[in-house]
């Protein structure tokens, strides 16, 4: 799973989708949220496999995100 925060601006969904697709990461579910137009927004991407470190670095390096955090839950 990937958690990101960003300013609510156009292009974020495309950036996330394109970056994941180019890296072979399949998105199973994509959830977005914001409190106010133009305010802070969050995205949760549920993916089939762990996200490679270079993909996280690429996203973080765009300057479009306040936070880029991989999340893993042990549900055993």
Give the model confidence (pLDDT) of 26-49 as tens digits. Answer: 999 999 999 999 999 999 999 999
Give the model confidence (pLDDT) of 52-71 as tens digits. Answer: 999 999 999 999 999 999 99
pLDDT at 73 over 90: no
The Cβ-side half-sphere exposure at 12, using a 13 Å CA radius, reads 27
For residue 47, the model assigns a pLDDT of 97
Query: Beta-strand (E) ranges in 1-76?
Result: 2-7, 27-34, 40-47, 65-70
> What are the structural domains of the chain?
2-70 (3.30.70.260)
């Amino acid at each position: 799973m990937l958690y990101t925060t960003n300013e609510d601006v156009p292009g974020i969904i495309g950036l996330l989708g394109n970056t994941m697709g180019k890296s072979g990461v399949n998105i199973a579910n994509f959830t977005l949220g914001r409190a106010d137009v133009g305010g802070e927004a969050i995205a949760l991407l549920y993916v089939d496999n762990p996200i490679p470190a270079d993909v996280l670095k690429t996203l973080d390096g765009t300057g479009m995100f306040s936070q880029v955090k991989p999340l893993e839950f042990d549900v055993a």
